[in-house]
Amino acid sequence: YLLKRADKIIVATEGHIKGSDYLPAFKDKCVVIPYGLTLSEYDSIERKPVLTSKLNNPSNKKVFFTGRLVPYKGVEVLLEAFKSVEGAELFITGKGPLEESLKSFVATNNMSDKVHFLGFLETSDLKAAYADCDFFVLPSVIKSEAFGIVQIEAMVYGKPVINTNLDSGVPYVSVDGESGITVPVHDSVALANAITKLVNDDDLRMKYGKVARERVEKYFNEDFVIQDLYKLLKE
């Protein structure tokens, strides 16, 4: 009833329409206006070796995840994938009910030398961590992960993203083969292969990272988002 009454329905990506149980019937009223960032707030941070300083092997690549440690974020899948990854160390920030079981998994599988739990980071350190990583991973497994603002927070620093092919906006934010790699949901083998590919290919990381920054400037710049919103409201 609410959707019928609406003159327009704002969604953050096309995936929000296609993955919704309700919006396809009202797609003609839907307008895509994504979430955005104020680029200057990210570009002006103090660059600090938040992750680099914690590396056990200075030659390893830095793989970053941040988010609540809850089931839908897929951190269990990420850790399973990381068992077979070499030449990289994983940095996990965030708190949540799965924290102890995730740490136990790491210890049981003798991964303590390549998985770091950083807990909660203040905003300035979190942004510095994005800037300091080599690439970002969002392994979410349920479409309640509707967009993943963390993706554009990594992309603004020119970082490639590995995400999952959810029926939501997630794979529309960072695009497979352009700004990163998209893998099937719950597929730890595909995720491990994607991580290994980016770990071992410096040129590919640079290529994807360049496109990632360009996507943020073009599609997720708060200045443009606000203009599109005002334009819609004026109409």
Q: Which amino acid is at 192?
A: A
Given CA atoms 230, 167, 204, 63 in this order, what sign does their dihedral have? positive
For the chain, how many residues are written? 235
Look up the pTM and report it. Answer: 0.94
- pLDDT tens digit string along 15-36? 999 999 999 999 999 999 999 9
pLDDT at res. 156: 98
- Side chain identity at residue 181, one-letter code: I
CA separation for the pair 179, 162 (Å, rounded): 9
User: What stretch of H or E contains 206?
Assistant: helix 202-219
CA distance 77 to 29: 37
- The per-residue pLDDT for range 203-228, each reduced to its tens digit, is 999 999 999 999 999 999 999 999 99
pLDDT value of position 61: 98
DSSP secondary structure of 2-59: HHHH-S-EEESSHHHHHT-SSGGGGGGGEEE----B-HHHHHTSPP--TTGGG-SSTT
Tokens of 74: 């897929």
What are 104-132's pLDDT values in tens digits? 999 999 999 999 999 999 999 999 999 99
How many CA atoms within 13 Å lie on the side-chain side of 116?
A: 20
The per-residue pLDDT for 138 is 98
